[in-house]
Structure 1
Amino acid sequence: MAKIIAPVVTIFNEEEKPDYAGNKKVIDFLIEGGLDGILVLGSAGEFPDLNEQERLDFFRFYAEYVNGRVELLAGTGCIRYADTLALSNAVYELGYTPMVISPYYFEMDQEKLFVYYDRLAKDVKGDLYLYNFPPRTGHSIAPETIRRLIDANSNIIGLKDSVSTPGHTNMVCRAVEGKPFTVYSGFDDQFLSNIANNGGGGCIGALSIIVPEIWSSLVKAANEKDFDRTFALYHLIQK
């Protein structure tokens, strides 16, 4: 079944700290709009503007306010490996599944990416999503590397693939066929291409923050195989 998950924005106050009242309004708006889940402090959530303690405090607030109403993912990637591991392990207790962007700033080839995620998967206490975003990291995780990682680590359960064209995502879906692994597209306009693949789980797309009701209706129509309505709603997303 396809899903739509919002990579939610973070509302800040004039002191550039999280505005909790403002964020509650966003949470209610998204849940009332029918979304399947929320990715907290991903790229759209401006995670670099908070230190690790501030991020953990924000994750705690978010989980308490959501109170199980939708699925929660947590962006836990940090510059330092130790911080990524500590934050990832901490969010399990709050009900999140961590999603970890590949190391940014550092030059990474495929072997280094494998070593990084393989170590992380073996050190964390639960399941884990990969996050591939080449425009922000300077590298892309190859489909073959992803297959190596999930062959070695059953707790790597999915991927957000924020790539400019769907070809890479399609190749990832081919590479992981037969494995319990969910691939989400990171851009709204790749939804139909995504769900046409075995393993395609839908989208973690930022337009869902603005028009959650269109996105949730689109996913419902696609899951019900109502193709006329699917295409009509997808046309609105494309516009």
Structure 2
Amino acid sequence: MKDIKECYERLKGIFNITVTPFTPTGEIDFAALSENIERVIAQGYDGLLIGGTYGEFPVMSLAERRALFIYVMDFVKDRVAVMLCSAASDPRDARELTKLAGELGGLPMVTAPFVSEITDEQIVTYFEEMALLSRTGILVYNAPGIGITLTPNLLERLADISGVVGIKQGDLTPTVIDQIANRLAGKLRLFCASDLAFLGPMMAGFDGISTTNSGALPELILATYRALEQGDANTAKALHQLWFEYRTLARQHGQPQLVKAAMALRGFNGGMVRPPLKPISEQALQSLTKVMQQLASDSRTGVKLSFEQPLARNL
């Protein structure tokens, strides 16, 4: 993407939140990353989100994050739109990554500063400064899980900043979604940050969804989204209900741990997680295997497993 206008036009649809595969010795497995990216592009995903929360950016060095951005953008070659998470606890790192992401043709995804008792005015100033660094604009990530929660009123102020292309909304409270959809739709792109509960925001008027679990269930989640996109709410609801038990496990055992374990059961190489995260327990793996077998037995899901007898554990 060459500029803010093109970035805005392409920032819609379903984006795969790509997990970062780590080898047993802790390095980024770029070969596995390429395979996983190629899979979702071939299946028809509209974009990628690289190095996000579930891409484990908090446990990566600045040098690793730079290398990740450069590798992915060279590999993708603008076939799909790419969000590049430039969030960082150190604003100097965030600035450097935001600038790099824009230079590479990606869209920097920026969170509010990780600072307690920061004022709304300081938050607005921070995003104004970040927006100036990127030729493709920035995406505001409202991420309650890793920082402060931006209110609808504050998001409206951020939407007025030149260079803010969209919002990735992590606070999915119904009243908040209603306010954002009705106040900001059409002004900038609105993305739902949770594939566990994306039906509501999309029906309310959001432009897209970023999905972590599409790493493990790419066909099913894509079919769910496309049905909703085409106005077939009944099919979307039925497909979304099919993987409720999987979502239950995801809430219990965490992401990206569960996603990487589910990918392994399918023969996809999601790699290891990095400490302080740990692989899911044997008991959790048994529960996951049962759920994945149930999904594979339903022709509507498109899920196929890589084993006949459980368990094949490589995490």
TM-score (norm 1): 0.89
Match of 1:146 among 141, 147, 155: 155
Q: Which of residues 4, 10, 24 in structure 1 aligns to 2:14?
A: 4
Q: Which residue type is aligned with residue 123 of structure 2?
A: L
Contact 2:103-2:135 within 8 A present in 1 as well = no
- Equivalent residue of 2:23, what SS? coil
Match of 1:122 in 2: 132
Matches within 5 A, 1:12-27: 12-27=22-37
Deviation at 1:45, TM superposition (A): 0.4
How many residues are matched? 235
- Of residues 185, 189, 192 in structure 2, which corresponds to 1:185? 192
After TM superposition, give the deviation of residue 132 of structure 1 in Å: 1.0
| Deviation of 1:47 (Å) | 0.7
Alignment of 1:35-54 (within 5 A): 35-54=45-64
Q: Secondary structure at the match of 2:162?
A: coil
Question: In the alignment, which residue of structure 1 is the partner of 2:238?
Answer: 232
1:146 Cα deviation (Å)? 1.4
Inter-partner Cα distance in structure 1 for 2:59 and 2:164: 27
Which of 142, 155, 159 aligns to 2:163? It is 155
Q: Aligned partner of 1:84: which letter?
A: A
Q: Which runs of 5+ in 1 are unaligned?
A: none
Give the secondary structure class of the aligned counterpart of 1:159.
strand
Partner Cα distance (2:98, 2:12) in 1:
25
Q: What is the CA–CA distance in structure 1 between the aligned matches of 2:114 and 2:236, rounded to whole Å?
A: 36
Check the 8 A contact 1:5/1:39 in 2, yes or no.
Answer: yes
Alignment partners' CA distance in 1, 2:120 and 2:39: 40
C-alpha distance in structure 2 between counterparts of 1:207 and 1:154, whole Å? 33
Matched, 1:30 2:36: no
For the pair shown, the structure with the greater C-alpha radius of gyration is 2
Tell whether the 8 Å contact from 1:4 to 1:208 is kept in structure 2 after alignment. Answer: no
1:148 maps to a residue whose letter is: R
Q: CA offsets per residue over residues 142-178 of structure 1, 9 Å max, x none?
A: 1111111222x23101111112534323322223245
Match of 1:209 among 206, 215, 218: 215
Residue ranges of structure 2 left out of the alignment (5+ in a row): 1-10, 246-315
Work out the CA distance in 2 between the residues paired with 1:81 and 1:58: 19
For 1:103, the equivalent position in structure 2 comes to 113
Deviations 1:103-158 (A, max 9, x none): 22533343332221122223433311001111221x2111111111222x231011
Root-mean-square deviation (CA, aligned residues, Å) is 2.0
Q: Deviations over 1:46-86 (max 9, x none)?
A: 11222222211111111122222321100001222222122
- Over the matched positions of the two proteins, sequence identity in percent amounts to 26
Question: Does the aligned pair in 1 maintain the 2:95–2:133 contact within 8 Å?
Answer: yes
**What's the secondary structure of 1:203's corresponding residue?**
strand
1:223 lines up with 2:229 in the alignment: yes
| Contact 2:101/2:134, CA 8 A, preserved across alignment | no
Instruction: Verify: 1:94 aligned to 2:104, yes or no.
Output: yes
CA 1:165–1:238 in structure 2 vs 1: closer, same or farther (change >3 Å)?
farther
How many Å separate the matches in 1 of 2:78 and 2:236? 28
Paired with 1:110 and 1:210, the residues of 2 have a C-alpha distance of 38
Q: Match for 1:59: what amino acid?
A: F
Q: 1:125 to 1:136 in 2, by over 3 A?
A: same
Distance of 1:233 and 1:4 partners within structure 2: 16
2:141, 2:167 within 8 Å by CA — same for their partners in 1? Answer: yes
Query: What is the CA–CA distance in structure 2 between the aligned matches of 1:217 and 1:24, rounded to whole Å?
Result: 23
